[in-house]
Amino acid sequence: MTTRQGSLALLQDEVAQRLLQSPLPARLAYSWTDGTPRVVPLGFHWNGEELVFGTPPDAPKMKALTDGARAAVSIDTDEMPYKVLQIRGRVRTDTVQGVAPEYEKMTIRTLGEEQGNAWLTTLRAITTHMSRVFVTPEWVAVLDFETRFPSAIERAMEAAARA
């Protein structure tokens, strides 16, 4: 039997682990200060407990991504069968001097050693501080479109099997 959607145990699923280490961007969803929804693609680092995003301290999203705010994240492939990791959780933020170490790890993972180091050299010259946005998972789902499907499709498949 598969682990129920929503369980934090799904973070250990093979699909989740692959996506958490992939060079794919995450889509971070949150509510803007006026209550309207926002979604931004961002590079991320998984530290084993939280997703970490690095951003300039004066980035507009930092007005809404405050400690305790709720956010959702999706990391997904673009080839069939799609693989999707969805996380909902709470935000925690801080600001560090220079480039955040998690941002450096994400850059090397996504761009490779040579291009990543070239970008980091450029960034270090113009960055005195970086804010980090941590999303602590409270709810997790995995869709692999082979054994796990969206709930409405699973219900339709179960109904068809009973018929």
Lowest mean pLDDT across 36-40, 101-105, 143-147, 154-158: 154-158
Instruction: Read off the amino acid at residue 59.
Output: A
Give the pLDDT of residue 3. Answer: 73
Residues found in the chain: 163
Q: Is 126 left (phi over 0), alpha (psi -120 to 50) or beta?
A: alpha
- Residue 2 included in any domain: no
* 3 domain residue, yes or no: no
Give, as one character, the DSSP assignment of residue 4: P
Mean pLDDT score, 60-66: 97
- 8 A C-beta contact, residue 37 and residue 64: no
Give the containing element (helix H, strand E) for 123: helix 113-126
Are the beta carbons of 78 and 150 closer than 8 angstroms? no
The pLDDT value recorded for residue 57 is: 98
59 in a structural domain: yes
- For the segment 34-48, what is each residue's pLDDT rounded down to a tens digit? 999 999 999 999 999
Domain range for residue 115?
8-162
Segment 83-136, tens digit of pLDDT = 999 999 999 999 999 999 999 999 999 999 999 999 999 999 999 999 999 999
Residue 124 within any structural domain of the chain: yes
Q: What pLDDT sits at residue 96?
A: 98
What are residue 85's DSSP bridge partners?
A: 75, 142
Whether residue 15 is contained in a domain is answered as yes
Give the total number of structural domains in the chain.
Answer: 1
Residue 1 domain-assigned (yes or no): no
Domain of residue 39, CATH code: 2.30.110.10
Instruction: Quote the pTM value.
Output: 0.92
